[in-house]
Amino acid sequence: MEKEAVKDAEKSRAPRPVAASVVKLRAAVEKASAGGGPARLEAQKARGKFTARERIHYLLDEGTFQELDLLVSTRAVDFGLKDKDIPGDGVITGFGQINGREVCVYAQDFTVLGGSLGLAHAKKIAKVMDLAYENRVPVVGLLDSGGARIQEGVDSLDGYAEIFQRNVKCSGVIPQISVILGPCAGGAVYSPALTDYIFMVEGISQMFVTGPDVVKAATGEEVTFDGLGGADAHSSKSGVCHFVAKSEPDCFRQVRELLSYLPQNRWEKPPRVANPDPIRRHVPLMEQMCNLDPRKSYRVHHIVWQIADEHKFFEVQAGYAKNMVTGFCRMGGEVVGVVANNPAHVAGALDINASDKAARFIRFLNCFNIPVLTLVDVPGYWPGVTQEHGGIIRHGAKILFAYAEATVPKITVILRKAYGGAYIAMSSKHMKGDFNFALPCAEIAVMGPAGAIEILYSREIAACKTDADKAALRAKLCAEYAAKFASPYQTASTGSIDEVIEPSLMRYKIVRALRFLKDKRVPGTHENRGNIPL
């Protein structure tokens, strides 16, 4: 009996024959998963780039990726496509997890027909975007493509239109992230432009509507691919790119970090985390700032770092419009979007680019239930013919519109200067700010004291006989004007400031206000709000 039992056990351990249908499936999956083949995979690595599957592996939590439509293939037959092997039609689609939370993802495979987009390729992307929209999860696109597949003609252009339409449908409903990991040219650039955030990697990412050759033929200008549409050009000059990474792993780390600050959809709030940083922690640096000469510059980042939980700040568009700082931090464990004037760059004044940058960020926060913390130190709008002719009136109005439209909690702290129309634009009380605070050193006025007295007391100053007399009179008049018209106490007396606060208590005041506002609701504002590119 024992011998028979041993024999039965050995039989159970012996490999069983695999059904022919399973063998066929495994072969088809292995073939489709191989991309463009060993030679093209090696060529991709020789360019310093990961393969599409490696990218998904680095981006998602280990073992969570579930692929969809692996066996989809093009139905096009012209120009030899019928006889070509095009695994997955050049794009990998599916879903997985990032930080334990569900996301949908697609990754274009440059090793398969240069990642070019045909109709089947587009339908796969559209399908996974529909899946993200219907299940209320973020969608991340990894783009590495030669553009529209010429062999498929207008079908490929129609495919792009299907994707654009879904970008707009998803806007303000689920977070959309584009990661540029190779070329992105022509009409292909408009899908990333319609998403919320764009990541690029130095040395391998390019975006442009027309390439260097076309530019040279049309205008005579000679420019390299990177010079025209590389990461530096789009992060510092055009503002198209929000984040720049040194390498692909660094890029995927940044994507994961960004998603840690975002909700899954517009119906949820951002994830709260345990906060080891005491909310009553004093901020001595703020008292030092109150002693700072109003004409001296400083980086507003130091203020944000001081008040944020564990001094962490995730900046958005760090290289663009540096007079305006935007980004995410946590305060008391809750996610906050920061909008701050930066006196270290053009005195923190508002200009065209800063207005666009802030307005779109505020609108994103409003779409996804993230409170806005506004730190104000603004001397006004940046003057000049270039600004006026460039449309500062139109662009400046965007930030006004964004703040007035926003129904999420809005907390404002005036650090030093808040003059003229820029004071209004930076989430003033009458732009429906929920809590508006000011430091005791704040100056809030129609214009700065030095400029105001030149208008109000021009005759008295002109009547002085010596330059010394003029200087003495100016100093006296400036002090009087500041005390009467630019004082935070004067503004507080009218209710335009809720409280003049102790500088060292700034962090506590903000966290306390955020906790009070956590259940804020404004009736009639739950309709879908898209995040249109500005």
pTM beyond 0.85, yes or no: yes
Q: What pLDDT score was predicted for residue 316?
A: 98
Averages of pLDDT over runs of 10 residues in the chain (534 residues) are: 60 70 76 75 88 95 94 62 68 96 96 85 96 98 87 84 96 97 90 97 93 89 92 95 97 98 96 91 88 86 96 97 97 97 95 97 96 96 94 95 95 93 93 95 78 70 76 72 72 91 95 94 72 89
Q: Which H or E run contains 362?
A: helix 352-367
- Convert 337-370 to b/e letters by CB count within 10 Å (16 or more is b): bbbbbbbbbbbbbbbbbbbbbbbbbbbbbbbbbb
Handedness of CA 282, 293, 460, 465 (dihedral sign): positive
Q: What pLDDT score was predicted for residue 385?
A: 95
Which amino acid would we find at residue 358? A
Q: Tell me how far apart the 2 most distant CA atoms of the chain are, in Å.
A: 125
Contact 488, 500 (CB under 8 A): yes
Q: What pLDDT score was predicted for residue 459?
A: 76
* Count of CA atoms in the C-beta half-sphere (13 A) of 284: 0
- By annotation, the residues acting in catalysis are 186-187, 421-422
Q: Residue 105: beta bridge partners?
A: 94, 140
- Convert 56-76 to b/e letters by CB count within 10 Å (16 or more is b): bebbbeeeebebbbeebbbeb
> Residue for token digits 């990697």?
201
Helix boundaries (H) for 153-300 = 154-170, 190-194, 212-219, 225-229, 231-232, 248-260, 284-290
Q: Residue 140: beta bridge partners?
A: 105, 177
Q: Which H or E run contains 304?
A: helix 301-307
In terms of Cβ atoms closer than 10 Å to its own Cβ (0-12, 13-18, 19+), residue 401 is middle
Q: What pLDDT score was predicted for residue 401?
A: 95
Strand 91-98 versus strand 66-68 pairing type: antiparallel
Compute and round to an integer the Cα radius of gyration of the chain.
Answer: 28
**CATH number assigned to the domain with residue range 284-447+487-516, chosen from the 4 options 3.90.226.10, 3.40.50.2300, 3.40.50.300, 1.20.120.920:** 3.90.226.10
Going by C-alpha positions, the residue among 363, 357, 62, 132 that lies closest to residue 237 is 357
Task: Say how many C-beta atoms besides its own lie within 10 A of residue 40's C-beta.
Answer: 18
CATH of domain 19-260: 3.90.226.10
Contact 141, 125 (CB under 8 A): yes
Going by C-alpha positions, the residue among 245, 227, 213 that lies closest to residue 48 is 245
Contact 427, 403 (CB under 8 A): yes
Q: What pLDDT score was predicted for residue 2?
A: 62
Q: What angle do CA 369, 374, 379 make, to 5 degrees?
A: 150
Q: What pLDDT score was predicted for residue 490?
A: 84
Give the integer Cα–Cα distance in Å for 329 and 305: 9
Domain(s) labelled CATH 3.90.226.10 in the chain stretch across 19-260, 284-447+487-516
* Helix, strand, coil % over all residues of the chain, rounded to 5: 50, 15, 35
> Residue for token digits 């004067």?
490
Q: What pLDDT score was predicted for residue 21?
A: 81
The packing angle between helices 467-485 and 449-456, to 10°, is 110
Q: Cβ contacts of residue 70 below 8 Å, gap of 6+?
A: 29, 32, 33, 88, 92
Contact 189, 213 (CB under 8 A): no
Q: What pLDDT score was predicted for residue 255?
A: 98
Q: What pLDDT score was predicted for residue 85?
A: 63
